[in-house]
Amino acid sequence: MKHIVFLIFLSAIMQATAQTKTPVSIIPEPVSIKEKLGFFNLPNPLLIAAPDAQEVKNVTDYLSNKLKTSTGYVVTVDAKNKNAAIQFVILKQQDAQLGTEGYRLNINDKNVSIEANHPQGLFYGMQSLLQLLPPDIEANQKSPITDWKLPQLEIVDYPRFEWRGLMLDVARHFFTKEEVMQYIDVMAKYKYNLLHWHLTEDEGWRIEIKSFPKLTEVGAWRIDRTGTFGNFKPIQPGEKPTYGGFYTQEDIKEVVAYAKKQFVDILPEIDVPGHSLAAVVAYPELSCTKGVENYHVRYGERIMDWSQGHPPIAMVDNTLCPANEKVYEFMEKVVTEVAQLFPFEYIHLGGDEAPMNFWEKSEAVQALMKREKLTNIKQAQGYFTNRVEKIVASHGKKMMGWDEILEGGVPKSAAVMSWRGMKGGIEAAKEGHEVVMSPTTFTYIDYMQADRITEPPVYATLRLNKTYEFDPLPDGVEAKYIKGGQANLWTEQIYNIRQAEYMTWPRGLAIAESVWSLKEKKNWQAFTKKVEAHFPRFDAAETKYARAMFDPDFRPRKNALGRMEVVLRTELDDLTIHYSFDNSEPDHFYPSYQEPLLVPIDAYRLRVVTYRGKEKVGRVLTMPIAELERRLDAPDE
């Protein structure tokens, strides 16, 4: 008898191992994964058991819609069924380790169970579960796959930080509410829980404010230009403000409710007192400068001089006047409406990059400074920040601002979003402010992720490996002040949602892991393998993403004889770079890069492509030799 049991056991193991296991590739990396032998096959019809509660229903609806669409299975949700293949459980006895967002996912040969203290944990457990299924699960149509099998395992998981955000700028370019929802759909898959919605700018005011209708009647529209934003030519005769759009208050409520179903909160940003040209054009009385009646909403022409550093010298006054009582009446009404639309506990009031050269010339601001005994112009912004912070607090909300708000004096109750590196955040935390880290150094995903010859030009580059280095909690800072981190997508050079996706993914995966996963669980090599495993998932979902991690980086330099040579580097160390100087398109039969390439004297361009063995993984990049020569003279551009 013993013998037979053993043989049955052995054959079960052999069967289990005979099926090849795809490596588990969950992003962000869970706290712990215990892999086991064998699989669990999803049955058809498929039963899901879950407690009867609205927030849980949002989770089970999500899962059953997804399963029905891609598997074609008959999927039913039943609150009570003990034999269900997928069991969602809200723990009766709270598990302190899991917190609000954590979960346990167990897959054995009988069923799948996801346990959590809160429905949000169930949602994240479900996202991990979906990532264990083949990429076709992400498709919006029925897959040809007929057996959907899950690896048996046990996962325990919870986030490192409570604030895991992405910022989307809908002001430089407008994104419809459907596009914003599409953006939210992808972030939620990677356990982001916050969309920072940058709603107002010099280029457009995008949220309906009923007490100030011209904000959107006038302020939401600008001249339509395409090309390299920031350098556009002067207005031509006959050009009218035809580009733009805004969200009605009904739209906003719809997006907020949509996001909430996926446990994503929305942080609204009304960016004041700088970046406010659209508001000034709509209501010129909010300015301290004469002649603003003739201004127009910015369409991408140059309006700031950055040559003197920060703050910039403005060529037009794009600020709300800190010395004008009408501005505070305006802010009171705007904040009242915003506070009613967004249930999230914070309201972001910007504060970044406010130019001060017009304030320095303003009699009203000078009088304010005298009256309030302000000794430098930055304190005029501090005065403004303190007044608007009180307005926000009077509506039961907390104010957040970019790190510039620290410079003019700000109450402790204001939260700080550190963008000019981590420095502002460190200083703010030491002063006792709540902090969200979103430093340019690691999280500015509007920066180019590959060489500028292939990308819309932006003044800086941020490659995937650098985003992966992001750690929101610097040494020597008390963890309780650091709420978490986020990546920011400014959209000057982003004209459509496809490009917004391309810029976000996969760098958004690196940030997701930086804000969710335990620090000791992060591993660049393992991460890149997982990223590659997620590309087919993005393909199936028809979400655009960048394959820039396969692109080499070009570094020209002069050798000892004064000849130019080029150093090529890849972010991944298992790739081979093939190249040509003869203008033809290289493939894996072409020479491979071994050492810095000496540029032949007549070469016109260097063309490169990356392979892994015989598999082409990168795109062909064509680098003009003249561009390399230019970079020799200006290496940091």
Binding test (CB under 6 A) with ligand ACM, winner from 352, 372, 407, 427: 352
> In whole angstroms, how close is the CB of 295 to ligand ACM at the nearest point?
21
Among residues 353 and 551, whose Cβ is nearest to ligand ACM?
A: 353
Report yes or no: 164 and 135 within 8 Å, Cβ to Cβ.
Answer: no
201 in contact with ligand ACM (CB under 6 A)? no
Q: For residue 239, how many C-alpha atoms fall within 13 Å in the half-sphere facing its CB? A: 14
H or E element that contains 525: helix 524-541
Among residues 101 and 271, whose Cβ is nearest to ligand ACM?
A: 271
> In whole angstroms, how close is the CB of 351 to ligand ACM at the nearest point?
9
> In whole angstroms, how close is the CB of 403 to ligand ACM at the nearest point?
8
554 in contact with ligand ACM (CB under 6 A)? no
Report yes or no: 160 and 515 within 8 Å, Cβ to Cβ.
Answer: yes
Binding test (CB under 6 A) with ligand ACM, winner from 29, 138, 202, 353: 353
Report yes or no: 115 and 91 within 8 Å, Cβ to Cβ.
Answer: yes
Among residues 152 and 493, whose Cβ is nearest to ligand ACM?
A: 493
Instruction: Collapse the DSSP code of 313 into the 3-class scheme (helix H, G, I; strand E, B; otherwise coil) and give the result.
Output: strand
> In whole angstroms, how close is the CB of 488 to ligand ACM at the nearest point?
6
Among residues 71 and 491, whose Cβ is nearest to ligand ACM?
A: 491
> In whole angstroms, how close is the CB of 388 to ligand ACM at the nearest point?
17
Radius of gyration of the chain (CA): 27
269 in contact with ligand ACM (CB under 6 A)? no
Outline where DSSP puts E strands in 228-373.
241-244, 265-272, 304-305, 313-314, 346-350
Site string for ligand ACM, 302-341 (x = CB under 6 A): ----------------------------------------
> In whole angstroms, how close is the CB of 352 to ligand ACM at the nearest point?
4
Among residues 115 and 271, whose Cβ is nearest to ligand ACM?
A: 271
Among residues 402 and 550, whose Cβ is nearest to ligand ACM?
A: 402
The stretches of 226-315 forming alpha helices (DSSP H) are 249-261, 277-282
Closest to 487 in 3D by CA, of 30, 157, 120, 169: 169
How many other β-carbons are positioned within 10 Å of the β-carbon of residue 168? 25
Binding test (CB under 6 A) with ligand ACM, winner from 40, 212, 402, 581: 402
Closest to 383 in 3D by CA, of 336, 340, 343, 324: 324
Binding test (CB under 6 A) with ligand ACM, winner from 246, 342, 419, 516: 419
Closest to 288 in 3D by CA, of 212, 362, 204: 362
446 in contact with ligand ACM (CB under 6 A)? no
6 contacts: CB under 8 Å, gap ≥ 6 = none
How many other β-carbons are positioned within 10 Å of the β-carbon of residue 440? 16
DSSP at 207: B
> In whole angstroms, how close is the CB of 458 to ligand ACM at the nearest point?
12
User: What does the block give as tokens for 336?
Assistant: 């009242």
Using Cβ positions, the residue closest to ligand ACM within the complex turns out to be: 352
Residue ranges in contact with ligand ACM by CB under 6 A: 352-353, 402, 419
